[in-house]
Amino acid sequence: MSRKNKAKQNHASKKRSERAKSEPKFSLKVEVLRLFRENPNEIYPLRQLYNLFSIQGENDKLRFKELMSRLAHTGKVKLIGERAYMAGEEQAHIIEGWVDYVNFRFAFILNDTLEVDIKIKTENMMGAFDGDLVKVIVWPSSSEKDEHPEGEVIEIIKRKRETFVGRLEISDRFAFLVPDGRKIHKDIFVAKDKLNGAKKDEKVIVKVHYWPNRSDKNPEGAVVSILGKAGNNNTEMHAIMAEFGLPTEFEKDVLEDAEKISEVITPEEIKKRRDFRDITTFTIDPEDAKDFDDALSIQKLENGNWEIGIHIADVTHYVKPGTTLEREAEHRATSVYLVDRTVPMLPERLSNFLCSLRPNEDKLTFSAVFELDEKANVIHEWFGRTIIHSNKRFSYEKAQECLESGEGDFAEEVMVLNTLAKKLQAKRFKNGAISFETVEVKFKLDEAGRPLGLFPKIRKDAHKLIEEFMLLANKRVAEFCYRHKEGKEHNTMVYRVHDEPDIEKIRSFSLFASKFGYKLMVDESKISEKLNDFIEKIEGSPEQYLLQNLAIRTMAKARYTTAAAGHFGLAFSHYSHFTSPIRRFPDMMTHLLLQNYLDNKPSPDRVAFELRCKHSSEMEKLAADAERASIKYKQVEYMQMAGKKVFEGIVSGVTGWGMYVDMNETRCEGMVRMSDMNSDFFELDEKNYRLVGKKTGKTFTLGDTVHVKVKNTSLEKRTIDLSLVDKNDF
């Protein structure tokens, strides 16, 4: 060894020795592996390793020898002679990734560059929590049966969060937070002098001030906010928002700025706009909606064609760039829709009053106006700022009554719009759009927010009518901005993109679907056509819900970006979000950019808009997660009243610890745990999506019909435990 290398190693040895003295023994294994990784060709006698890691005393030496024996047995180091070691033949490599904590026993490390995720046992997590960015040693699989290589966390690069929400438990000597998140498997200790007035069984937010670097220790923190009594509906909805780091209230300065905005529409402002106040206009929204951000106008032209105006709340007229209100909208990026409430992106004065297109009031709008012929071809289009006066506020139900009866206010206009919408839809499907219809549930709640019943949301023609005209506006705005070139490059624009699915994922899904007797022949050039044929075949079948949800999971996730990558699901080469600026910040960006190009101004900085797009996509995911959590909470609360009722369901998932069952009547999903399947000892057959009994050979496969009843529920974890019921027993 050269003098230079020896000096370098002595310096590294000194640092290791310091770490060995200051850190728990838990980290010694990591330090040993780091030494051999950094010096793969060096041979280290056992005596030298004692010195490098400050191993003293017979007991410590004995434990160190046991450690080295285990590492040699797994191939991570290699025994040379009887008392020396060098790096093993199967060298580990280092990756960075995000923690996905599957259950309390292990987590996966996610990294886009890896073909499969890395599996890490809890004792090797170094105290990392779900969502943390970590550095990991990855070891090659020891067996061909191992589908996931295993590893060990060696460094926590970035914590996802410092605050956690949950229920407070208090004993005589200490207190601790039981976190709400299903992927948080460690309680957080709270010293008695850090409770700040919180009481037992209250929902609170705790900020962590001490993170241990070993997984058998708990973080420590202090209560920073008291949400209220656990189980109270308002408390639980606020807790869900806090769990996903979403705000529930507006700061005082934001509200004050909203109140300062004048509601007066001046004659000077009207002169700048195209006036639609004398043209038949109406809104169609959910019965309980308060923010109406889109309206439709319709008039027949002298040439027999129809002029259809898609009028969108002109939010950017009121929310100016660089203001407190715009910064707040950008930060939130989206409104959040929980089961019992909407948490708006904009203060109520804007969302429900100034910008909302309420009936019988003059309102400022940004519009896309189309001349359509009888076949719904676009003959002419116009984009710009307008003023409207809505003649009527339809609910979806009332608009549907008009369509079915042909009677009522503006029934003729609604029917014309529906006819044109159906033709627009037919063109989309002909061009390759996918016709997925997801099943959503809606709750009937009492005044306290308790669920009295639940039922599936049914999308009828009135819903689809609005959807088609919003899609038309979003598509044509995107195309206009894309074509409106400033120079050699296309101008900056905010697009909603949806990548083509991974062909291998589609093939895997088609293999699974074949177990139900369905053929999904995959052709890379005709994926959407084959998927639509498949969706049509499974419609009305018992397994429709399962197969459709699994098919959706094979699809890429839609996102916002400045890259004009197209939208696979809609079969649009260019697509933006223009139609909901009250509740989505990307739509506000689209309005600003569209007006910029209408005024023939230069294209703004693409990088700045790309960063905003990424943030909006991230916030959209958090909002969707919060919405699902609120639905799951209410489902659990509802199923608490099930008693001994038997439900028919479909096996919707199988794991090493049980199987998930989706109950047909309630669309609630629960788990039959392996420990409760007493008729046999079941093992997971992952390749065939089933559980197999070792004694009887009995199987439970994805899609099987089973009968279950509720065994237990946990509102804290939002879980439903089920037990199997033999069909002969009822």
Q: Which DSSP string do the residues of 534-566 spell out, in sequence order?
A: HHHHHTTSTTHHHHHHHHHHHSPPPEEESS---
Structure confidence at residue 92 (pLDDT): 58
How far is 686 from 146, CA to CA, in rounded Å?
12
CATH 2.40.50.700 domain residues, the chain: 163-230
- In the chain, residues under CATH classification 2.40.50.140 are 640-729
* Cα 447 from Cα 438, distance rounded (Å): 29
Cα–Cα dist 526/528, whole Å: 6
Q: Which residues of the chain have pLDDT under 50?
A: 1-9, 11-26
What are phi and psi for residue 648, nearest 5 degrees?
Answer: -85, 140
Give per-residue burial for 60-89: e unless 16+ CB within 10 Å, then b: eeeebeebbeebeeeebbbbeeeeebbbbe
What CATH topology corresponds to 3-87? Arc Repressor Mutant, subunit A (1.10.10)
pLDDT value for 7: 46
DSSP letter for 567, please: B
* The token pair that represents 301 in the structure block: 């032209």
Q: Spell out the CATH class of 640-729.
A: mainly beta
CA distance 393 to 291: 11
Q: What is the structure's pLDDT at 534?
A: 87
Which regions of 269-359 does DSSP assign to beta strands (E)?
274-275, 281-285, 294-300, 306-313, 336-337, 342-343
Which ranges in the chain are annotated with CATH 1.10.10? 3-87
Residues 708, 351: Cα–Cα separation, whole Å: 44
Question: Which three-class secondary structure state does DSSP give residue 154?
Answer: strand
* Interaxial angle between packed helices 324-332 and 606-639, expressed in degrees from 0 to 180 and rounded to the nearest 10: 60
* Residue 619 confidence (pLDDT): 97
Among candidate residues 402, 396, 374, 407, the one with its CA nearest the CA of residue 467:
396
Query: In angstroms, rounded to a whole number, what is the distance separating the alpha carbons of residues 712 and 639?
Result: 9
pLDDT at 24: 38
CA angle 124, 127, 132 (to 5 degrees): 105
Q: What's the burial of 291, exposed, middle or buried (CB within 10 Å: 0-12/13-18/19+)?
A: buried
Q: Are 535 and 547 in contact (CB under 8 A)?
A: no
- CA dihedral over 375, 376, 377, 378, signed as positive or negative: positive
CA distance 590 to 388: 21
pTM value is 0.84
Within 8 A by CB and 6+ apart from 369, the residues are 274, 307, 308, 309, 310, 381, 382, 383, 386
The CATH number for 93-158, chosen from 1.10.10.10, 2.40.50.690, 3.40.50.620, 3.30.360.10, is 2.40.50.690
Q: First CA to last CA across the chain, in angstroms?
A: 79
pLDDT in tens, 509-541: 888 888 788 888 776 667 888 888 888 888 878
Q: Which of 170, 167, 177, 160 is nearest to 220 (CA)?
A: 177
Task: Specify the DSSP class assigned to residue 12.
Answer: H
Spatial separation of the C-alpha atoms in residues 137 and 92, rounded to whole Å: 6
CATH code reported for the domain at 163-230: 2.40.50.700
pLDDT in tens, 92-104: 577 899 999 988 8
Q: Is the dihedral of CA 230, 232, 237, 242 positive or negative?
A: negative
| 109/603 Cα distance (integer angstroms) | 40
Q: Where in the chain is the domain with CATH 2.40.50.690?
A: 93-158
Contacts of 421 (CB under 8 A, 6+ apart): 461, 464, 465, 467, 468, 469
